[in-house]
Structure 1
Amino acid sequence: MRYLFSTGLFGAITTGVSLLRGTRESPVTWRAALAWISWAITFALAIGAVRDTRRFDRGLEVALDSPLAPAQAKRANRDEKQAQKAAAQKRRRSS
């Protein structure tokens, strides 16, 4: 539920509502078409960001072009180092 109220998605929805109100009674021009295409791209990017955030929070892999990819790589490196440290301690205890 918290993902539905992210700022990017909320902004894209409110912009779409404003665009709909502004173009409802005006003729369709190339500027209006570009505005709708721009809004569709913004909305798709907001959906992708919400999707990536949800996957990141659940520990699933995110796309390499996601802004969260470096954080995920950092988390994976940290987890790997912790696992290596735990394995080394276990070897020391058993010897």
Structure 2
Amino acid sequence: MRKYLFGTGLFSAITGGVTLLRSARSDEPFTWRTALAWLSWGITMALAIGAVVDSYRGARGRLVADDSNVDRDKLFAERVKRNRR
């Protein structure tokens, strides 16, 4: 589970969210640029979580969406090899 939680995509999305939270605490007014930054962060977070879910499913040999770049067969073969040890 650690390899999923500490992946670079999820880690960078979380640090980006922390940065946005820090900027929200300042006395700056909420502008359209701030709204776009939050929207961008939300999309980034959703994509990072989706990649984690696809990797998790692929490693267990389950069905992965066709638009995903996860190689299900490779992940499943690695998992089988680990379990044989």
Of 42, 45, 50, the residue aligned with 1:40 is 42
| 1:17 counterpart = 2:18 | yes
Question: Which sections of structure 2, spanning at least 5 residues, go unmatched?
Answer: 74-85
Tell me the residue number matched to 2:69.
67
Tell me how far 1:53 sits from its aligned partner: 0.3
Question: Which sections of structure 1, spanning at least 5 residues, go unmatched?
Answer: 76-95
Tell me the residue number matched to 1:55.
57
Deviations 1:44-81 (A, max 9, x none): 0000000000001111110111011xx33xx3xxxxxx
Q: TM-score, normalised by structure 1?
A: 0.71
Tell me how far 1:23 sits from its aligned partner: 2.3
Structure ID, larger Rg:
1
The structure richer in helix per residue is 1
Q: TM-score, normalised by structure 2?
A: 0.78
Structure 1 runs of 4+ aligned residues shifted over 3 Å read none
CA distance in 2, matches of 1:51, 1:59: 12
CA distance in 2, matches of 1:47, 1:29: 27
CA distance in 1, matches of 2:67, 2:21: 31
Deviations 1:2-55 (A, max 9, x none): 211111001100010011101222211000000000000000000000000000
When the two structures are aligned, how many residues end up with a matched partner? Answer: 72
